[in-house]
Structure 1
Amino acid sequence: MDARFLGIADLVETPSVAVVVDVMRAFTVAAWAFARGAEKIVLAESLDEALALKARHPDWAALKDGPRAPGFDMVNSPGLLRSVDLDGRTVVQKTTAGTVGALAVKEASLVLCASFVVAEATAQLLRTHKSGGVTFVVTGEDGRADEDLACAEYVARRATAPGTDATAFLRRAAESRAAAELAEGVRQGVHPDDVALCLELDRFPFAMVATLEGSLMVLRPRAMPSLTDEGSV
């Protein structure tokens, strides 16, 4: 597998296969939303679009970065989301980096959204897909966020060498600027457990696949049977 690691601004052409990585916290939060029962996640272009979608679909739940705001039901925190019942609901998500990265590659033939909590499932799906070239979109810090790059590199290695150990990659993420900012309360809309939850390897037995459904980019979980059979939940 030929892996490329690019920031959002470096995407000059639409890749065939894209893995969009946002560890802290968009795609850790998305995985938790599915674990809490969400049917699908609509990735919004802007806060205004998220609110407009919510207005048209009052039963949908809207989620954003930062502090709570009128019209939004939740914030982008796995620690705060893990106790929310989302059974059968649609979530509209707008974040600073993760959703932007996914929308930037929406024309790709396969778009996966990833973080450490779905790393093995993502790698397994890439192995199943037998992709020749994969573009990993490192969404944070203009492509320099070490927690995202570490996760991207781990998934890439794991896709071709299933025995790859995660320890060094998780350590890099734990020592990243994003982890420090979350731990120190620099960012808003944070739970004290957020960093630990973002570093929980293979918490969920599904990958997350984003596809265009009409005019909307929609994220859905795709269970990976071998992981489900092993009970990796």
Structure 2
Amino acid sequence: MDARFLGITELVEAPPVAVVVDVMRAFTVAAWAFAQGADKIVLAESLDEALALKARHPDWVALKDGPPAPGFDLVNSPGMLRAVDLGGRTVVQKTTAGTVGALAVKEASLVLCASFVVAEATAQLLRTRTSDSVTFVVTGEDGQADEDLSCAQYIARRATGAATDATEFLRRAAGSRAAAELAEGVRQGVHVDDVALCLEVDRFPFAMVATLEGSLMVIRPYPVPSQPHDYRS
């Protein structure tokens, strides 16, 4: 498999297969939303669009980066989300990097949204596809965020079926600027457990597939059968 690792601004056209990685925290949060019962996640282009969707669908749950804000129900924190019952609900998500990256490749034939918590399921789904080339969109820090790049590289290795220990990839993510900013309270809307929750490998047995449904980009969970694997020590 030919794997390319690009930042959002480096995308010149939609690739055939795209894996959009945002570890801290958009696609860790998305996975937790599904674990808490969400039916689907709608990706908003802007905060205004998120609020407009919420206004048209009052039963939907609106989620954003940063501190709480009028009109939004939740913030982009897995630590906070794990206590919320989202059974059957639709979540509208707008974040700084992850949602932007997914929307940038919305014309791709396959778009997967990924983080460490769904790494193996994402790799397994890629292994079932015949595409020779996969573009990993490293969403943070103009493609330089080490938590996203390390996760992307880890998934790429696993997608080839190679035995891969997660330890070094997790170490890089734990030492990233994003992890430090979350731990030190530089970012707002943070739970004390957020970094640890973002570094849980394969917490959930599903991949997350994003597709255009009408004019909206929608993520849904894609269950992947559990298989024995040999990538962790």
Q: Report the TM range for the smaller structure's normalisation.
A: over 0.9
Q: Secondary structure at the match of 2:226?
A: helix
User: In structure 2, what is the Cα distance between the partners aligned to 1:32 and 1:84?
Assistant: 10
* Cα distance, 1:227 vs structure 2: 4.9
Aligned AA (2:88): G
Aligned AA (2:57): H
User: In structure 2, what is the Cα distance between the partners aligned to 1:21 and 1:227?
Assistant: 23
* Cα distance, 1:130 vs structure 2: 2.8
Residue number in structure 1 paired with 2:79: 79
Is residue 205–residue 227 contact of structure 1 (8 Å, CA) maintained in 2? no
Residue number in structure 2 paired with 1:46: 46
User: In structure 1, what is the Cα distance between the partners aligned to 2:43 and 2:56?
Assistant: 15
User: TM-score when scaled to structure 2?
Assistant: 0.97
Q: Secondary structure at the match of 2:128?
A: helix
User: In structure 2, what is the Cα distance between the partners aligned to 1:129 and 1:171?
Assistant: 29
User: In structure 1, what is the Cα distance between the partners aligned to 2:164 and 2:115?
Assistant: 16
Residue number in structure 1 paired with 2:4: 4
User: In structure 2, what is the Cα distance between the partners aligned to 1:72 and 1:7?
Assistant: 28
- 2:105 maps to 1:105: yes
Is residue 121–residue 227 contact of structure 1 (8 Å, CA) maintained in 2? no
1:97-176 equivalences in 2 (<5 Å): 97-176=97-176
Gaps of 5+ in 2: 229-233
Aligned AA (1:65): D
User: TM-score when scaled to structure 1?
Assistant: 0.97
Q: Percent identity?
A: 86
Residue number in structure 2 paired with 1:208: 208
Distance 1:89 1:227, change over 3 A: farther
RMSD over aligned Cα atoms: 0.9
* Cα distance, 1:131 vs structure 2: 2.2
Give aligned pairs, total: 228
Gaps of 5+ in 1: 229-233
1:191-202 equivalences in 2 (<5 Å): 191-202=191-202
